[in-house]
Amino acid sequence: MLTLNNLSHLLRCFILFTLITLICACVHVSPSTHGPLNESLSRKDRIKQLNSIKNLQIQGAIAIKMQDQAQSAYFNWQKKSNGCYQLILFGPLGMQSVHIQGCPGSVTLTNTQHQIFKARTPEGLILEQTGLFLPVSNLNDWILGLAIPNKKAKQTLDSYNHLIKLEQNGFLINYLQYTQHNGIDLPSKLLIKDETLTLKIIINQWKF
């Protein structure tokens, strides 16, 4: 016999299942469908081409797995020629959004309650406020398909001198797919791992 308590329990389960389904669905983002140009450039010329991008905006989605936690979110990242950047992560990352603004030596994070937190580096600030580690400082170069300058790195290139695998700062970065924008080949799907973190980044829009 279906009692009121049983009905209430079933209703709660249904609501929870529906919520989880919606969360999983809302961050399904496909990478850009435009293939790379695959020009025959030397690695030196390709690096020069990528370093010529001074102001850019990227949109896409990330999925983060860290020990027993797993989260996903959309992101919007703007990077300026003066080294400053703005990163917005929004839903369902802990069912909230965070707005991060950074310049060398100074980072500010604003949450959905309009609380403001400050630190010298973005990694510790994001970890403190969301419980997740995101290597933002490294991503400034990695997301372009570049190794961080003047730091030890092991690089694997394809026949067009795109970076397809990078080992640096204790991370393994696999470049799974490239696209092109304004005549420059750029990553559209990355998989980043270390001993405790798996980070998948899908980029569906580049602007510069």
pLDDT at position 11: 43
CB atoms within 10 A of CB 173: 28
pLDDT at position 18: 38
pLDDT at position 32: 59
pLDDT at position 184: 97
DSSP 30: P
pTM (two decimals): 0.81
Name residues of the chain where pLDDT drops below 70: 1-33, 92-96
What is the architecture, at CATH level 2, of domain 43-207? Clam (2.50)
- Answer left, alpha or beta for residue 124, where phi above 0 means left and psi between -120 and 50 means alpha: alpha
pLDDT at position 91: 75
Q: pLDDT tens for residues 134-161?
A: 999 999 999 999 999 999 999 999 999 9
pLDDT at position 148: 97
How far is 64 from 62, CA to CA, in rounded Å? Answer: 6
Q: pLDDT tens for residues 167-193?
A: 999 999 999 999 999 999 999 999 999
Q: What is the percent of the chain with per-residue pLDDT over 90, rounded to a whole number?
A: 67
At 106, list the tokens.
Answer: 């100074």
Contact 130, 93 (CB under 8 A): yes
pLDDT at position 35: 84
Classify each residue of 37-65 as buried b or exposed e, where b means 16 or more C-beta atoms within 10 Å of its C-beta.
Answer: eeeebeeeebbeebeebeebebbbbbbbb
Give Cα 145 to chain centroid, integer Å. Answer: 13
Backbone angles phi, psi at 177, to 5 degrees: -160, 145
